[in-house]
Amino acid sequence: MNYLLKITYDGKNYHGWQIQENALTVQEVFQKALNKILNAEYEIKGCSRTDSGVHANEYYVNVKTERNIPPHRLKAALNGNLPSDVAILDSRTVDEEFHARYNCIGKQYIYKIWNSEVKNPFLDGYALHYRWHIDEDLLDKAAKHFEGKHDFTSFCTLDQRKQENMTRTVYSAGVTRNGDMIIFKIEADGFLYNMVRIMTGTLLRVAQGKFAPDDIPGIISARSRKKAGPTAPACGLYLNKVSYKKEDLCEPE
């Protein structure tokens, strides 16, 4: 069977998704639980890496195995064996060819900024604390310039993906406020390394008056990491939604 599992995790205590030597990752604790249940070989594919400290409201992984367990049983068994900061939200079987990363057609990230003079004790590791007042309308105006198909080299950590195609299509980008919480939400067909965090750092430069919203198109077209703002910390970043074609998510015949 090829199982597709929808996961959510609090990334505060993990070095991202992907397994590493000498650092605890979500994949490691997930596989530990899986090993107990499957007791058989399997192939596993996550929909994305994610950096150390980044959270996931929604993350997908597929697991190919010879074992045949009803999906709801696999979900319950995994939830019974996972630590309290990782949970399985959904489990289904998909086509043998389905690959959580290659079949993905879009992702949505949010970045949370606690915008108050005083830090919020409940948000340490869960939002960036920014103490000076942010004009969310100004940031929203700036974020709208990210929309469309662009070469996002300026918003990618240098030398990481030199050979790759740096063009991505941003379906929507915007900034809203809910009380003292500022949320930057962005959806695209894919993201370059650190793209959302560099965009957030650039939006904060707009908040500081160092960039105007209309400077964004020039920063994009410069194709130079140096033109954009700094990389915002990982703690505020959440993988929020992952999209697949509807027909891919149907149980196979």
Contacts to a second copy by CB under 8 A: 8-10, 55, 79, 84-89, 118-122, 124, 126
Q: Closer to a second copy by CB, 91 or 194: give it.
A: 91
Contact 233, 216 (CB under 8 A): no
**Shortest separation between residue 31's beta carbon and a second copy, angstroms:** 17
* Catalytic position from the list 51, 85, 137, 159: 51
As measured in angstroms, the least distance from the Cβ of 58 to a second copy is: 12
| Minimum distance from residue 145 beta carbon to a second copy (Å) | 31
Contact 59, 6 (CB under 8 A): yes
Task: Identify the sign of the CA torsion 227, 230, 234, 235.
Answer: negative
CB neighbour list of residue 77: distance below 8 Å, 6 or more residues apart: 37, 69
Q: Is the CB of residue 168 less than 8 Å from the CB of residue 150?
A: yes
How far apart are alpha carbons 220 and 146 in whole angstroms?
8
Nearer to a second copy, 69 or 138 (CB): 69
Residues 164-169: contacts with CB within 8 Å, 24+ apart?
Answer: 166/192, 166/223, 168/192, 168/195
Q: Token match 């993906």: residue? A: 161
Shorter beta-carbon distance to a second copy: residue 87 or 249: 87
By beta-carbon proximity to a second copy, the closer residue of 99 and 129 is: 129
75, 91 Cβ separation under 8 angstroms: yes
User: CB-wise, 42 or 126, nearer to a second copy?
Assistant: 126
3 state SS of 13: helix
In this structure, the strands spanning 42-46 and 106-114 are unpaired
Q: Of 88 and 156, which CB lies nearer to a second copy in the complex structure?
A: 88
Phi-psi region of 44 (alpha: psi -120 to 50; beta: other; left: phi over 0): beta
Least distance to a second copy from the beta carbon of 84, Å?
4
- Our answer to whether residue 51 is catalytic in this structure is yes
Nearest approach in angstroms of CB 85 to a second copy is 5
* Helix and strand element counts for the chain (H, E): 6, 10
Least gap, CB of 82 to a second copy (angstroms): 9
Instruction: Kindly list the catalytic residues.
Output: 51
